[in-house]
């Protein structure tokens, strides 16, 4: 009889040790998963970035928007077009120049993302002149900024490309 009772506490102790080991493994796996999610890049907000506008001559002329993460920020820009307009009227808001979503662009350090904005996609002399662009990351319109255009633009049915890692992919061809 004694051996039966002696074996039972040993089995209970072994089961307790196994339970503690399993709990510790599950907790470590959970913490590791949380750490990997926490260290992954988050979506960029407008305030996370600095922007630069330049005039380009390809495809009839357009504005190249260059976005760079501020010091100490790592984030990604979704592969969609920026939220931008030249004025407050609906007809000055940019429409997408691309019909598909591009790859996300992770920004950190000196890495940059590029979007092209064509202010005029019509073949006529109509439009409104503007000297500023209102810009934000799509979904973060409450934090939009205003940028001076490098030159006054005649605006009529403007379009923008998605964000790209290569400026050559940000040429807004209008067809």
| pLDDT band (50, 70, 90) for residue 89 | confident
| Rounded Cα distance, 82 and 128, in Å | 21
Q: What is the pLDDT of residue 174?
A: 56
Kindly tell me if the per-residue pLDDT of 3 is higher than 80. Answer: no
Contact between 174 and 121 (Cβ < 8 Å) = yes
Better-predicted residue by pLDDT, 15 or 174: 174
| pLDDT band (50, 70, 90) for residue 90 | confident
pLDDT digits (tens, 9 = 90+) for 14-64: 334 334 343 333 333 333 333 333 446 799 999 999 999 999 999 889 999
Q: What is the pLDDT of residue 16?
A: 40
What is the SS3 string spanning 57-112? CHHHCEEEEEEEECCCCCEEEEECCCEEECCCCHHHECEECCCCCEEEEEECCCCE
């Amino acid at each position: 009889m004694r051996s039966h009772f002696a074996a039972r506490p040993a089995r209970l102790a072994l089961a307790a040790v196994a339970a503690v080991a399993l709990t510790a493994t599950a907790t470590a796996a959970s913490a590791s998963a949380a750490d990997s999610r926490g260290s992954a890049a988050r979506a960029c907000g407008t305030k996370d970035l600095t922007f630069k506008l330049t005039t380009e001559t390809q495809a009839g002329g357009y504005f190249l928007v260059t976005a760079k993460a501020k010091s100490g920020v790592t984030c990604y820009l979704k592969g969609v077009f920026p939220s931008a307009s030249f004025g407050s009227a609906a007809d000055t808001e940019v429409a997408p120049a691309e019909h598909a979503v591009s790859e996300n662009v992770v920004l950190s350090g000196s890495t940059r993302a590029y979007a092209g904005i064509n202010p005029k996609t019509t073949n006529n002399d109509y439009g409104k002149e503007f000297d500023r662009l209102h810009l934000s990351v799509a979904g973060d319109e409450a934090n939009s900024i205003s940028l001076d255009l490098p030159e006054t633009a005649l605006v009529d049915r403007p379009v923008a490309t998605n964000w790209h890692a290569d400026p050559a992919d940000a040429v807004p061809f209008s067809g």
